[in-house]
């Protein structure tokens, strides 16, 4: 039985988040510049999106560029931005053909204008699709997101639009970038690093975490299926006991 056949279609996570790590190390192993790893990582993105759509995963969020990544060498940052523009432009037709909607979270206004405009155009062109939503986390960090949410809530309290005593989890959720999405149930990170690197800190509170030694450019559909099979073999208790789940 193949890994895909082992997946229980009735127990699929609605939302899977992925930290695509290892492009630079993969390129270094090949004796190439880091951008070569990023370029080859595009195939892994394509395979992962295809696998998610084929299975019926409703939301797939990819950590594409963090706010901290702006601190990388300028040459790499600019090459990454150019690759992003080219990839979005080249893949929009395929997204539409496969009924996949594109969305983005993060400090998008900080992106170069050509990148921002290309992104917004692709989001507009795919807005009517409803098979799967591909979410790109760009110029994103969870601390940035939470600080913004706190500022917005504080302003509403100051303006008399909200009482501080009424603030609860739903209030925070509704002011995050992911307000219209279910929380991720599974987070996958490649490259053997066992941390979440300022990614969806609030949203991952009860997510299952899956770490693989595969470097991102080597990640394929079978690896995605393996992560889901592993997820489905876990017991998700949400603070309860195993006995409570059975009863």
The residues annotated as belonging to the active site are 21, 69
Residue 241 has a CB neighbour count (10 Å cut-off) of 9
Rounded Cα distance, 47 and 35, in Å: 19
- The answer to whether 187 and 205 are in contact (CB under 8 A) is no
Nearest Cα to Cα of residue 44 among 217, 225, 172 = 217
Residue 99 has a CB neighbour count (10 Å cut-off) of 13
Rounded Cα distance, 205 and 183, in Å: 9
């Amino acid at each position: 039985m193949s890994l895909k056949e082992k997946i229980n279609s009735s127990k699929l996570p609605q939302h899977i988040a992925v930290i695509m790590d290892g492009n630079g190390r993969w390129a270094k192993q090949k004796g190439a510049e880091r951008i070569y790893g990023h370029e080859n990582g595009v195939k892994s993105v394509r395979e992962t999106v295809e696998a998610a759509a084929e299975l019926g995963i409703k939301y797939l969020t990819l950590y594409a560029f963090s706010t901290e990544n702006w601190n990388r060498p300028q040459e790499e940052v600019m090459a990454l931005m150019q690759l992003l523009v080219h990839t979005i432009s080249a893949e929009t037709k395929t997204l539409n053909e496969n009924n996949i909607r594109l969305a983005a979270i993060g400090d998008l206004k900080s992106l170069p204008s050509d990148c921002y405009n290309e992104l917004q155009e692709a989001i507009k062109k795919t807005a009517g699709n409803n098979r799967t939503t591909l979410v790109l986390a760009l110029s994103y960090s969870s601390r940035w997101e939470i600080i913004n949410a706190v500022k917005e809530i504080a302003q509403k309290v100051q303006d008399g639009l909200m009482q501080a005593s009424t603030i609860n989890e739903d209030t925070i959720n509704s002011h995050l970038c992911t307000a219209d999405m279910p929380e991720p149930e599974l987070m996958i990170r490649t490259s053997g690093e066992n941390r979440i690197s300022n990614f969806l800190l609030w949203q991952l509170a009860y997510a299952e975490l899956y770490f693989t030694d595969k470097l991102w450019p080597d990640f394929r559909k079978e690896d995605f299926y393996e992560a889901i099979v592993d997820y489905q073999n876990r017991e998700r208790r949400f603070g309860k006991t195993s006995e409570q789940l059975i009863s």
